[in-house]
Amino acid sequence: MYHSAFCSVDVFQPRMLAARFSCTLNTHNVRIGHCTKVPRNVNMQKLQHGYLFPEIEKQELMHLKMHPHANVIDLGVGDTTQPLPTIVTSSMVDFVHGLSTTAGYKGYGPEQGEKALRKAITVAFYKDLGIKPSEVFVSDGAQCDITRLQLLMGPNLKIAVQDPSFPAYIDSSVIIGQAGKFVDQAGKYKNIEYMTCGPQSNFFPDLTNISRTELIFFNSPNNPTGHAATRKQLEQLVDFARVNGSIIIFDSAYAAYVTDDSPKSIYEIPGAREVAIEVSSFSKFAGFTGVRLGWTVVPEELLYSDGFPVMHDFNRIMCTCFNGASSIAQAGGLACLSPEGLRAIQSLIDYYMENARMLVDALTSLGLTVYGGKNAPYVWVHFPGSKSWNVFAEILEKTHIITVPGCGFGPGGEGYIRISAFGQRDSIIEASQRLKYLNYQEQN
């Protein structure tokens, strides 16, 4: 039986960890030899599964062993595929060549990021929103910053997350010690407030039924559903946080994909500077998944209960745990935010969104209910009455296409599959044709 924190399916078999020595089995059925006297972190023991995306990679490798000649199309992990714009790579190359000269060499930079890049971020993404360069902390990616924020806040807080949502919010909460025991039957951890965000509520939680928590993780446009929260919805969220004295950690990694009038930043909402931290990334809009560059905004007005500015503590975390983002990556990031760079990046965004449109059309033609693909490069597909991992397995077996089981994003994702539009156009066209062979319309 394959186990995850949210779902299970009997089509996969676990594999015993390899050992190089003769040993016995411990209570976790892991082979052991010599043991130290260091106990395992009890919070790590609470994690119910391997992190979602490496687990999917394992299933892909197993499938390739069974079908070594299959042309597998990976529409699972949201990894970009289009080349970086020349203006971006040229800037990084020039910077690298400069490092081999006395005049151009640079060592450590500011832990908070280069001043020019921090200013460029405020101009490109927060114009007229009152964000100062000093409130922007450049990093090696949004996911790393999520963990740094957990370290900042500590274990003695309760969090709320969208359900479904990006699994790093919950997993990092478990590791830091915020979560209670996992309840198998519910597919949830105790001490975490799961905010149901399904189509029945326009992918936004009913805040009247949500208990107070200190932290609220909120992702818009949402991964996996692709829903971008409306201005009215975010106004409700900010009001909720203000009334409850909570802090919103707002993940806007896909904001550049918004095509309608949905807010791209939480700071478009009045009062958000007093209750919200915003995390974002160059990964998905600029193709920096391998280059690694992101940022976090912590406004001066955001205060702890004793009146101490949160920004000062986050600055200390960055200075203690981080030596600053790669200066090469920052040079590329600065080029991304130039007028020419922004135009080139917009063409990448348009490319991926056309991929999403093609996938939506193909899946809709099967009679399936399809969400997303409008404000985010993800398509969220409903398979009523089916288990997500079973649908994942069936699609992989019949079409050689990798997707992501929706239950991996939380119990609210059961019965759904997430499909990524980050792919080469030829692969998207081929995948659209293969998906039509599933004949779900006839089956349903």
Instruction: Kindly write down the DSSP assignment for every residue of 143-195, as one continuous string.
Output: HHHHHHHHHHH-SS--EEEEES--HHHHHHHHHHT----EETTTTEETTEEEE
Q: Tens of pLDDT along 76-95?
A: 999 999 999 999 999 999 99
pLDDT value at position 25?
Answer: 56
Q: Tens of pLDDT along 278-330?
A: 999 999 999 999 999 999 999 999 999 999 999 999 999 999 999 999 999 99
Give 442 or 425, the one with higher predicted confidence: 425
CA–CA separation, 161 vs 299, rounded Å? 22
Same domain, 178 and 277: yes
Give 18 or 411, the one with higher predicted confidence: 411
pLDDT value at position 3?
Answer: 40
DSSP-derived pairing of the beta strands 2-3 and 8-9: antiparallel
Same domain, 99 and 210: yes
* Percentage of residues of the chain with pLDDT beyond 70: 91
Helix (H, G, I), strand (E, B) or coil at 361: helix
Same domain, 99 and 162: yes
Q: Output the average pLDDT for the chain.
A: 92
- CATH number reported for the structural domain that contains residue 185 in this entry: 3.40.640.10
Give 229 or 58, the one with higher predicted confidence: 229
Contacts of residue 175, defined as CB under 8 A and 6 or more positions apart, other chains included, come to 41, 43, 44, 47, 150
Q: How many CB atoms lie within 10 A of CB 443?
A: 9
Residue finishing a domain among 282, 306, 339: 339
Residue finishing a domain among 319, 339, 359: 339
Q: Which domain holds residue 436?
A: 44-82+344-443
pLDDT value at position 437?
Answer: 80
Same domain, 152 and 270: yes
The one-letter amino acid at 313: D
pLDDT value at position 207?
Answer: 98
* Percentage of residues of the chain with pLDDT beyond 90: 88
pLDDT value at position 165?
Answer: 95
Q: Are residues 380 and 225 in contact, defined by beta-carbon separation less than 8 angstroms?
A: yes
pLDDT value at position 20?
Answer: 36
Residue 440's pLDDT band (cuts 50, 70, 90):
low
Q: Tens of pLDDT along 11-37?
A: 443 333 333 334 455 656 666 789 999
pTM for this predicted structure: 0.92
- CATH number reported for the structural domain that contains residue 397 in this entry: 3.90.1150.10
Residue finishing a domain among 314, 339, 364: 339
Same domain, 195 and 323: yes
pLDDT value at position 216?
Answer: 98
Q: How many CB atoms lie within 10 A of CB 60?
A: 16
Q: Tens of pLDDT along 117-163?
A: 999 999 999 999 999 999 999 999 999 999 999 999 999 999 999 99
Residue 12 lies in a domain: no
Q: What is the mean pLDDT of residues 349-366?
A: 97
Give 369 or 28, the one with higher predicted confidence: 369
Is pLDDT above 80 for 267? yes
CA–CA separation, 343 vs 341, rounded Å? 5
